């Protein structure tokens, strides 16, 4: 049986909900969404949502499998008080990286000389609520990325170099760890930037896609009218 525009839109809405809930990643979402809007029959639409729950009725197992980090707000109590997996990073003529679900020590020291480092706190856990990052570089560069929900204070200066992080200073959401970044750069650079978490980026992309589709549909209805 031929599918209607309303049926295609209902499937698209189910896919957007699945993306927001973490059931689909962005690649799967984009592939299925494109297939939904180009589908001509019910037989083409049904497989796109066969493995997804009906809208608004997620099963208990699926709900419990969602990580706190996938929620609109970070659940900080679950991310504080873990044994540290790293107390520092070092780079000499090379580089180091700390990202993902690693656990930051209450005092973390990073040093790069003729090299670089990448410290990403967006998905990190913390040993303690009060955390100090000491970041030093000589003729090198280190970048620190923090999420919008984290309380951050940047202190530091550069000698024939630069420490950039004033825009990252700010309060976090309730319960956030207090992270103080003490930085020094000699003939090098250290940057601290706030960037959204993966779940937030995917949610924003889904929202933009929804708005784009609504604009296109509105334009199409106007032309038909």
User: In this predicted model, what pLDDT tens digit does every residue of 34-57 receive, in sequence order?
Assistant: 888 888 888 888 888 888 876 544
pTM: 0.61
DSSP-derived secondary structure letter, 16: H
Residue spans of alpha helices (H) in the chain: 5-20, 26-38, 42-49, 60-65, 198-224
Distance, in Å, from the CA atom of 184 to the CA atom of 158, rounded to the nearest integer, reads 6
Contact 112, 91 (CB under 8 A): yes
Question: What SS3 class is residue 4?
Answer: coil
Tell me the pLDDT band of 131, cut-offs 50, 70 and 90: very high
Contact 39, 4 (CB under 8 A): no
Rounded mean pLDDT of the chain?
83
Tell me the pLDDT band of 58, cut-offs 50, 70 and 90: very low
Q: Mean pLDDT check: name the lowest of 109-118, 181-190, 215-224.
A: 215-224
Distance, in Å, from the CA atom of 160 to the CA atom of 155, rounded to the nearest integer, reads 17
Residue in this structure with the two tokens 């784009």, named with its chain if needed: 212
């Amino acid at each position: 049986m031929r599918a209607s525009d309303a049926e295609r839109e209902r499937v698209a809405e189910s896919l957007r909900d699945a993306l927001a809930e973490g059931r689909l990643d962005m690649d799967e979402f984009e592939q299925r969404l494109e297939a939904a809007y180009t589908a001509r029959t019910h037989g083409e639409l049904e497989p796109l949502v066969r493995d997804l729950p009906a809208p608004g009725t997620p099963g208990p197992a699926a709900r419990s499998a969602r990580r706190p980090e996938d929620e609109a707000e970070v659940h900080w109590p679950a991310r504080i008080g873990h044994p540290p997996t790293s107390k520092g990073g070092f780079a000499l003529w090379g580089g180091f990286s700390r990202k993902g679900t690693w656990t930051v020590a209450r005092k973390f020291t990073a040093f790069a000389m003729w090299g670089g480092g990448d410290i990403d706190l967006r998905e990190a856990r913390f040993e303690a609520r009060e955390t100090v990052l000491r970041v030093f570089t000589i003729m090198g560069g280190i970048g620190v990325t923090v999420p919008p929900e984290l309380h951050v204070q940047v202190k530091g200066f550069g000698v024939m170099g630069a420490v950039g992080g004033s825009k990252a200073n700010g309060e976090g959401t309730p319960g956030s760890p207090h992270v103080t970044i003490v930085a020094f750069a000699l003939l090098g650079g250290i940057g601290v930037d706030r960037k959204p978490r993966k779940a937030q980026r995917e949610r924003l992309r889904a929202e933009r896609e929804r708005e784009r589709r609504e604009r296109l549909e509105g334009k199409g209805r106007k032309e038909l009218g």
